[in-house]
Structure 1
Amino acid sequence: MALSKVNRLRSRQDFNAVYRRGIRRKSRHLTLLALQQLHSEKSLLGSISTRPTPETASATPTRVGISISLKVSKRAVVRNRLKRWLKVAARSLLWKFPVGWDIVVLVQPEATQCDYRQFLQELEQLLINAEVCDGD
């Protein structure tokens, strides 16, 4: 099953913010970029812009985005299968995530040879290395 809507990173601006300011951790098949959310009141209320507070940052759920390039595979079937596996892996690890993070997972071309268990294991290890979640 896929991620719920509140846990999906969807807008181009959000992806770009994570690409620019996020911390990077890389494994053999995946690259993880993580950025702690510090949304201003403008993004929450629409027009008022104030300094972000810990309350507003912790009120936003953790969002996950997945990016798979054509370099991984020219076949959409392969890219979609990898994306589905990563969504399920992220959903199964979602309970470990603290609130208030934007996470982007990039898939490397070597990922076409691995299976779901490897994705789950690598994603969990990358999250621990990035200090997004604990290793419990």
Structure 2
Amino acid sequence: MLPKHNRLRRSQQFSQVYRQGRKAVSAHLIVRLWALPAAPGAGTSTPSSAGPCVGIVVSLKVHKRAVVRNRLKRQVRAALRALLPRLSPALWIVISLKPEATECEYGEFLRELEQLFTKLEVLHGHS
């Protein structure tokens, strides 16, 4: 599980990312992110030391069984943990899985997340 300060927890936070965020798509994932305003006292921002906040969405369209959806979320969270220190801190990120994601394993999620974050130019230390 991700630390509490790295999780999107409110519906309004997800809505904000969907409304104002940028989007990148791969074969199995859709990543939406919103860079928090840099102005101090913006109200919606989190402390920069806390790092990015992430939400993972796996709908019933992906798989009807909760066991499968939860396994997919665990795999994405594990891949995300490896990339979290390299992400810009003032971000809200929503990762949605496509139905084809049921065929994926950890390594493929890690590779696709890295590619998508590089495409969105929020990954530090990419070569």
TM-score (norm 2): 0.90
1:130 aligns with 2:125: no
Q: C-alpha distance in 2, partners of 1:42/1:127?
A: 25
CA RMSD in angstroms comes to 2.0
Counterpart of 2:105 in structure 1: which amino acid?
Answer: D
SS where residue 102 of structure 1 aligns? strand
Which residue number in structure 2 is paired with residue 71 of structure 1? 61
- Residue correspondence of structure 1 range 1-136 to structure 2 within 5 A: 2-38=1-37, 41=41, 43=43, 58=48, 61-134=51-124, 135-136=126-127
Q: C-alpha distance in 2, partners of 1:112/1:28?
A: 12
Show structure 2 runs of 5+ residues with no match: none
Which residue number in structure 2 is paired with residue 48 of structure 1? none
Q: Tell me the matched-pair count.
A: 125
1:92 Cα deviation after fit: 1.1
Counterpart of 1:41 in structure 2: which amino acid?
Answer: G
Q: Percent identity?
A: 45
TM-score (norm 1): 0.84
Show structure 1 runs of 5+ residues with no match: 45-51
Which residue number in structure 2 is paired with residue 47 of structure 1? none
Bigger Rg over Cα: 1
SS where residue 32 of structure 1 aligns? strand
